[in-house]
Amino acid sequence: MIIVMGKLRIDAAAIEAALPAARKVVEATQQEDGCIQYDYSRDISDPEVFHITERWTSREALGAHLKTPHVAEWIGVLQTLTMKERHIKLYDTDEGEDL
């Protein structure tokens, strides 16, 4: 399984303006083959922080996702925002275990 975890720091007003596009990419991505989880969330203690959580069945599924029109559109929206911080990491892992 592939896990992608990320953190974006963007002006809070810009995040609000980007939410319709974020919802669109999340809804489309969650329907893709190989997508186990794809979510964005606002940080409850810092309104400028946007968290990214993704789980994929394989690197190939993630690679196909990155080539979709909805991702290209989302990247276009992100490029219009002034990002103060961007950290995104990919982890290759097993299925994990329940705690």
The per-residue pLDDT for range 4-57, each reduced to its tens digit, is 999 999 988 888 888 999 999 999 999 999 999 999 999 999 989 999 999 999
Scanning 1-99, the segments in alpha helix (DSSP H) are 12-29, 59-65, 69-79
CATH number of the domain within which 41 lies? 3.30.70.100
For residue 44, tell me if it sits in a domain: yes
For residue 97, tell me if it sits in a domain: no
Select from 63, 44, 45, 53 the least CA-distant residue to 7: 53
Q: Which structural domain, as residue segments, surrounds residue 18?
A: 2-92
Domain count for the chain: 1
For residue 98, tell me if it sits in a domain: no
For residue 12, tell me if it sits in a domain: yes
For residue 99, tell me if it sits in a domain: no
User: In the prediction, which pLDDT does 76 show?
Assistant: 94
